[in-house]
Amino acid sequence: MTISQATLHQTLHDSFGSKVSQLVENCGELTLTVVPDDLIEVALKLRDTAEFHFAQLIDLCGVDYLHFGVDEWSTQSATTEGFGRGVNPATSAFFSFHDAPTVPGNKGARFAVVYHLLSVTNNQRLRLKVFCRDDEFPRVPSVAGIWTVANWYEREAFDLFGIMFDGHPDLRRLLTDYGFVGHPFRKDFPLIGHVEMRYDPEQMRVIYEPVSIEPRVLVPKVIRRDNRYAGEGDQDA
């Protein structure tokens, strides 16, 4: 059975009512935003109700909205003119910002967790989004008890973004070392990292030390002459 996007949109509104913080359609896909307190109730209903039957969690990821919508954010240095490293919501024709948090610089939500759901029965997809209330210690309930596959997805989001998942059975780092400092997918994580590690043959163990390389920033792509194409007008590569 296949239900239409319009039918799904209306059914979500009818089923969840005030629990729907936002429900928008973009690029042919619906995004349902709820608050953390309603996440488990909404997730269970999305999985178990016949009108939805989102039995599969395809993906779960964290999002850091720091500097969201700012087309030029501060760095150590780059160029005199600088260059666009983000998106200006006033001019962007590609992104849709109607489901985004408030403009950067305020005290609005910084971190979010996004769940991509699939209903094979109804041939529908849904994006479920939850914004964390606390920017310093972001946390949301774990859905590992609803979709078992969320276990390692939540561990990855915890490792890379520092988002805590309350009720997770074994919330440990997944991709970085147990002694890793910080969360590397946060927008304010330095490119050089906080510490560096090496194996010390005398101590016969891995040790952590202060970073020894110079801080760096992303720089604009420049065109350099390539001698492989020299000769015909000395064109640029």
If you write DSSP's letter for every residue of 12-42 in order, what string do you get?
Answer: HHHHHGGG-SEEEEETTEEEEEE-GGGHHHH
Q: Say what the pTM is.
A: 0.75
Least confident of 33-47, 128-142, 197-211, 218-232: 218-232
For the chain, percent of residues with pLDDT exceeding 90:
53
Closest C-alpha among 56, 212, 200, 34 to residue 130: 34
Task: Name the token pair of 159.
Answer: 């490792």
Closest C-alpha among 125, 112, 127, 94 to residue 24: 127
Residue 10 clears pLDDT 50, i.e. is over it: yes
Least confident of 143-157, 161-175, 179-193, 222-236: 222-236
Q: For 114-138, how does the pLDDT look when each residue is reduced to its tens digit (9 = 90+)?
A: 999 999 999 999 999 999 988 889 9
User: What local confidence, expressed as pLDDT, does residue 45 receive?
Assistant: 97
Closest C-alpha among 149, 146, 142, 169 to residue 44: 146
The 3-state DSSP class for residue 113 equals strand
Residues 136, 40 contacting (CB under 8 angstroms) = no
Residue 214 clears pLDDT 50, i.e. is over it: yes
User: What local confidence, expressed as pLDDT, does residue 2 receive?
Assistant: 76
Work out the mean pLDDT of the chain and round it to a whole number.
81
User: What local confidence, expressed as pLDDT, does residue 127 receive?
Assistant: 97
User: What local confidence, expressed as pLDDT, does residue 67 receive?
Assistant: 78
The structural domains of the chain, ordered by start, are: 5-229 (3.30.460.80)
Residue 149 clears pLDDT 90, i.e. is over it: yes
User: What local confidence, expressed as pLDDT, does residue 38 receive?
Assistant: 96
